[in-house]
Chains A and B, each alone.
Chain A
Amino acid sequence: MPLATVYLTIMPNQMIATIFDGLTRGMLYVLLALGLNIILGLMGVINFAHGAFFALGAYITFTLSQRLGLFPAIIAAALCMAVLGMIMESTFIRRLYSRPPEHVLMFTFGAFLIIVQIIRKIWGDTPQPLSPTGFLAGSINLGFSQYPTFRLLVVALTVLVLIIVYLILVRTNLGLTIRAGTRDSEMVSILGINMPLTFTIVFGLGSLLGGLAGGLEAPLYNIDPNMGATYIIIAFLVVIVGGIGSFWGAVVGGLIIGLLQELTVQLIPGGSSAEDIVPFAFMLLILLVRPRGLFGAEGLFD
């Protein structure tokens, strides 16, 4: 990385800040992609509605933050999405598992469109600004520069959530069931485990991560009804880059793509026009070298 080295020596502080920005953005991708990937890995459902949950998470955070304050609003919105995900799985999606896979795909795509329309109806088409307030609006001196407190919260909260999800996967009975079910869910139910219930819980967990990503995104960038579409594409891309059904794939893939985008925008003159292309170029590169993604077939719940 000669270019990066140049920047690092000329303006290291700017470089470090850019890397932090990339990590924050990457954290959102990690959360979103991990939720998507757990659902895809266990149930084989390509869940487009995940993008709508992300957007809805952001909008609910926007509305609730006026009453509850930003941080409680983010948590409440994520929990709402968990409940919505569980309702959607147990009322509709569960009826589609035994059908050809394109049926459930059409369903989640339809659900995505419907939810986005509902968002338009309630909150309108124009982008809404949401800024961190109070303590979260400030910045903290990290040595290299002042860094926005809210961005640090995004990093800290995501790391915490990742640790929790990881511990659930490796330490709990639910995690054992998920890891086994990702390979052969029918065999898990033959062992007496209530898989329909597990599916509902996991759908809730995945949707919670999507809603949380939305709530954390809201104060960083504007929120608009199309945000789900933009982000869900990146999330699928992260899943492909990282490997389907892989915990570490989502983590590493999300961080790399967030970093790449931020480096492109901030360090390359005119780079913002390439912001949307860079992740795709990176995906193609990875797929050439590792067709199953970075962690395909050796991930945690694979």
Chain B
Amino acid sequence: MFLEARELNTYYGKSHVLQDVSVDVDRGEVVALIGRNGSGRSTTLKTIAGVTPPKRGSVTLDGRDITGMKPYTIARQGVAYVPEERRIFPNLTVLENLKLATLAGRKGRWDYKKVFAFFPRLDERKTNAGKSLSGGEQQMLTIARALIQNPDIILLDEPLEGLAPVVAQAIQKAIMEMKAEGMTMLLVEQNARVALAVSDRAHVLSDGRIVASGTSAQLRDDQELVQRYLSV
């Protein structure tokens, strides 16, 4: 597999949040991480991105061990992480937010032109400050910021969270288009129905453990599993 996370154990202080979590994603695949609030989905992405390094376990990318590397080194290996909180720089313009992502990013298909064609709304708001963007625009920008790095894989955390239904649909459509372009993604999404519709495979997390894995089609049909781990 392209990305292999093996038996990750991550702590926040003394609290043992990820317990032997293993996740893998192959090139061109979209894999979803689903589970209830607090089940450790975000922590899994952060651990892979190097933001919360694991105490035990390993992450390899195309066979290269990236465990314990600093976030900026991991990013330079081709891993783009789109955090749940979006973390747009409010004092920078849309263009500057993108420029920052290109500084250490690689050159490739995704340049300003393609990104702005992909999110025309951002093109219109190029010179506006990050703090003036709506939630949907911020989400577009944070995804655009990942794309323009031309990564090998994007770790996408709850891209639809807190968005009005129409806006959420637009973002979902963008994710589908990224998938159609062959972008590899590890996706965390609260809405399991959407997550399983978008992804090829999925892992189910509960209390920091992987409790089920399979193709998204299989998991979609498993009513009992959905009841136990996903319904609120």
A residues in contact with B91, CB < 8 Å: 179-180, 182-183, 301-302
Query: How many A-B contacts at CB < 8 Å in the complex?
Result: 69
> Is B92 an interface residue when CB atoms closer than 8 A count as contact?
yes
Contact between A193 and B90 (Cβ–Cβ < 8 Å)?
no
User: B83–A177 contact, CB under 8 A?
Assistant: no
A187 to B75: give the CA distance in the assembly, Å. Answer: 11
Number of interface residues of B (CB under 8 A): 24
B71 touches A176 (CB 8 A): no
Distance A240 CA – B155 CA, assembled complex (angstroms): 40
- Which of B70, B89, B104, B105 is the one whose CB lies under 8 Å from A184? B89
Q: How far is the CA of A157 from the CA of B165 in the complex (A)?
A: 57
Q: How large is the interface on A (under 10, 10 to 19, 20 to 34, 35 or more residues)?
A: 20 to 34
**CB contact between A187 and one of B89, B96, B103, B105 (< 8 Å): that residue:** B89
A188, B75: Cβ atoms under 8 Å? no
A182 partner residues in chain B, CB cutoff 8 A? 91
The answer, yes or no, to whether A276 is at the interface (CB within 8 Å) is no
| Cβ of A100 under 8 Å from chain B | no
Q: Which residue of B lies closest to A184 (CB)?
A: B87
Are A176 and B87 also in contact (CB < 8 A) when A186-B71, A191-B75 are? Answer: no
Tell me which residues across on chain A come within 8 A of B97, comparing CB atoms. Answer: 180
Known: A180-B89, A183-B91. A190 touches B100 (CB 8 A): no
Q: Could you tell me if B51 and A186 are in contact, using CB atoms closer than 8 angstroms? A: yes
Would you give the shortest CB distance from A94 to chain B, in whole angstroms?
A: 12
**Chain B residues, Cβ within 8 Å of A179:** 89, 91-92, 96
Contacts of B105 in A (CB 8 A): 191-192
Q: Are A193 and B89 in contact (CB under 8 A)?
A: no
Taking a contact as CB atoms under 8 Å apart, the answer to whether A193 and B96 are in contact is: no
Query: Are A191's CB and B103's CB within 8 A?
Result: yes
B151 nearest CB neighbor, chain A only:
A192
A301: B residues at CB distance < 8 A: 91
B131 — nearest CB in chain A belongs to which residue? A183
The verdict on B55 contacting chain A, using a C-beta distance below 8 Å, is no
Interface centre among B70, B81, B91, B96 (most CB of A within 10 A): B91
Residue B99 at the chain A interface, CB threshold 8 Å: yes
**Nearest B residue to A299 by beta-carbon distance?**
B91
The one of B51, B90, B145 that contacts A191, using a Cβ cutoff of 8 Å: B145
Answer whether residue A196 sits at the interface, using C-beta atoms and an 8 A cutoff.
yes
- How many Å from the CB of B164 to the closest CB on chain A? 25
List residues of chain B with CB under 8 Å of any chain A CB: 49, 51, 70-72, 75-76, 81, 83, 87, 89-92, 96-97, 99-101, 103-105, 145, 149
| A-B contacts besides A183-B89, A191-B72, 6 pairs, CB < 8 Å | A179-B91, A180-B97, A183-B91, A187-B87, A191-B104, A196-B70
9 closest A-B pairs by beta carbon, nearest first, are: A192-B104, A192-B75, A189-B72, A187-B87, A180-B89, A189-B71, A192-B76, A191-B101, A193-B104
